[in-house]
A and B are shown apart, each in its own frame.
Chain A
Amino acid sequence: MIHWLEKHMPKLVLTPSFAGVLVFVYGFIGWTAWVSFTKSKLLPKYDLVGTIQYDRLFASPRWETAFENMFIFGGLFIAIAMVLGLLLAILLDQKIRTEGFIRTIYLYPMALSLIVTGTAWKWILNPGLGLQATVQGWGFESFTFDWLVNPDKAIYAVTLAGVWQASGFVMALFLAGLRSVDQEIIKAAQVDGIPTWRIYTSIIMPSMAPIFMSAFIVLAHLAIKSFDLVIALTGGGPGYATDLPATYMYTMAFSRGNVGQAASSAMIMMVVVFAIVVPYLYSELRSKNHG
């Protein structure tokens, strides 16, 4: 018995977590899938009615906007935060005397929830109150910065605040990566007279490949859950120009009593996440096991 226990201990330890994930992630996804085929209104109902919720979803101009925004926002957010984080990490890795101080400044936004900073961002980005008014006040009358109130550009304003929150964290990841690259190899390269930019592109960056994965996972997680961000900053506006699938789903389920419609939007969103994340995870995990 004890022997059996000892032998199977690793599996036994993992079982509760795995069971939890099965129920609370995959079970709930299954539940959502079921509800998306019903006419649930205020509370979930379980009588199947076919694909009517999906038909309506695809006929909705608002969903179309939200769906497009997911790609615009998600793509830009991940790319910019990644590039900016890497850039800041490289700059900060140049033996800066006040590194600890500057690093904390870059990192602190991650500590704040956007419920907290939303109002401040709203003021800063508002042309009449914030940056535009201030710069114009300095005498640059022609300066305009009206992303937040321009329906075609508001999603970029949301991205700006999102990047503000996450890029410091990405910077920390990359900084850690830079610090763990073997210094001997770099020194040897320097002795050989290889230019600094080449050292970065052909020695340091490739060795940090796993960090790109960690950064991607963290950023993708934040992008998908960007909900507070939109609610606090624009409330989905102007109009519904900055609606995202997460806010669309929330609005349908909780302020409009249309749980069925919300479930169908959740399913589409999850399919997209699945299509992007799974191949990525798969290739990363594979290469790591064989690497």
Chain B
Amino acid sequence: MKHFMSIAAVAAMTVMAAQTAKAEPQAEVLHWWTSGGEAKSVAVLQQEFASRGGVWTDMPVAGGGGDAAMTALRARVLSGNAPTAVQLKGPSIQEWYEEGVLADISAVAEANGWEDVLPANIAGHMKCEGSWCAAPVNVHRIDWIWANADVLAKNGIAMPATWDEFNAAADKLAAAGITPLAHGGQAWQDATVFEAVALGIGGPEFFQKAFVELDMATLKSSTMVAVFDQMRKMRGYVDADFSGRDWNLATAMVMNGEAAFQIMGDWAKGEFLAAGKRPGIDFLCASTPGEGFLYNVDSFAMFAVDGADKQAGQALLAELIVGQNFQKTFNLNKGSIPARTDVALDDFDPCAHASAQDMAASNYGGSLLPSYAHGMALRGAQAGAITDVVTAHFNSDMSSADAVEMLANAVANSL
């Protein structure tokens, strides 16, 4: 017995020594998930990281949908003091890669078979010239339309399946003294509505050509004029005080029955749920009229850093982020769905189920598309140039033809 004890002790010591030699995984994580459910979700990741022996240093910077964090990131990279892991998404991952500052995490990705569990489009965003350079966290759907169930029932309106139906419903609601569309007049919210309208009216192919490939003929096409025409209609469906309103206050308008619809990504669901509203009973969720699925995938990129402990931290972090457990817990908290397709969705709500089904279907049908408004489709300069035109048109009496011309010029000027 005594003999056994000493063997156990020696074994334990050997294990410990091996661990020290392997270096304790370290990670400084720059992200902008600072409040409420988001912060709790990141904390889940931190706990898992710690339980595997990692030391997590938190570097949260909120504001402007990551603008402030990107400011901090630039300063950190220029000063030669890059954080270990950074919340980055879409083409900006490749942009940073081209600056030569990202680390390669292919070893982790291959060991964990990411290729097999991620939809091809989403995997594409995580790769830089063929090697893996980022780990996806979730999939937000952007083209959602939310509605107050009571208001629709009272006015005899069904969830619209086409934009004509939407317009008819909106006219009816306006006549009844209800604001048809709850909207916050911030540039990114204008862009969110715009891309939903563009996808619905133009279809997936049009969207791909216009907002992914920046095809000039498509940008100047008559379909684009029709998209701006519908945007002008949408402008008539919002209330007078929409400018600068935060998206969650717009959601509150739908909850209170002041307004009937809101077009917003699935984080709006969190606001409904937090107020004790039930999906399908108090509020309804559906995809905006038309075919397709616009995704916004949050992800973490690993920056090139020195030191075995930091590199070990990056590998561990990447593994955990794409792990089943984190993908489930995080997305339950955040209102999105897991990026990997093999997570059981039993605990998720009906809206999330709809989202997952639509994602699978559109992935199969080729209409799974990146959101331009949320920085998934284009680089910052081009996306910004488009948003400038969209918001200028929405907030003035510019004609659709002028807007289309301005759009083509702005895009050309930003390349």
Interface positions of A (Cβ within 8 A of B): 41-44, 56, 59-62, 122, 126-129, 146, 148-151, 154, 231, 233-241, 250-258, 261
Contact = CB atoms under 8 A, between A and B. Distances in A.
A126 B241 contact: yes
A148 B395 contact: no
B337 to A, nearest CB: 27
Contacts of B92: 42, 257
B187 A240 contact: yes
Contacts of B240: 127-128, 146, 149
Counting from the closest, the 9 A-B pairs by CB-CB distance are A239-B395, A149-B243, A128-B241, A256-B380, A256-B384, A238-B395, A257-B380, A238-B243, A255-B67
A257 B381 contact: yes
Contacts of B71: 250, 254
B392 interface: yes
Contacts of A62: 388, 392
B370 interface: no
Contacts of B350: none
A240 B388 contact: yes
A187 to B, nearest CB: 53
A42 B95 contact: yes
Interface string B364-384: 000000000000000111011
Contacts of B384: 251-252, 255-256, 258
Contact of B239 (A128, A148, A238, A240): A128
A107 to B, nearest CB: 28
Interface in B220-249: 239-245
B129 interface: no
26 contacts: A41-B379, A41-B381, A42-B96, A44-B78, A59-B413, A61-B392, A61-B406, A126-B245, A127-B240, A146-B241, A149-B243, A150-B243, A151-B395, A231-B64, A233-B244, A234-B244, A240-B391, A251-B384, A254-B67, A255-B66, A255-B67, A255-B380, A255-B384, A256-B381, A257-B379, A258-B384
How many B residues touch the partner, as a band? Answer: 35 or more
Interface of B: 64, 66-67, 70-71, 74, 77-78, 92, 95-96, 98-99, 185-187, 239-245, 379-381, 383-384, 388, 391-392, 394-396, 406, 409-410, 413-414
A56 B413 contact: yes
Given A42-B99, A239-B396, A60 B413 contact: yes
Q: Per DSSP, are chain A's interface residues mostly helix, strand or loop, or mixed?
A: loop
A60 B384 CA distance: 12
A241 B392 CA distance: 8
Nearest to A126: B241
B398 to A, nearest CB: 10
A236 B395 contact: no
Contacts of B381: 41, 256-258, 261
Contact of B243 (A41, A154, A231): A154
A273 to B, nearest CB: 22
B74 A254 contact: yes
Given A42-B99, A59-B409, A126 B64 contact: no
A162 B313 CA distance: 46
Contacts of A42: 74, 92, 95-96, 98-99
B244 A237 contact: yes
Contacts of A258: 380-381, 384, 414
A41 B392 contact: no
A239 B239 contact: no
A245 B67 CA distance: 17
A94 to B, nearest CB: 40
B76 to A, nearest CB: 12
A256 to B, nearest CB: 4
Contacts of A238: 185, 243-244, 391, 395
Contacts of A151: 395-396
A189 B170 CA distance: 72
A122 B244 contact: yes
Contacts of B185: 149, 237-238
B406 A239 contact: no
Contacts of B67: 251, 254-255
A279 B83 CA distance: 45
A252 B414 CA distance: 11
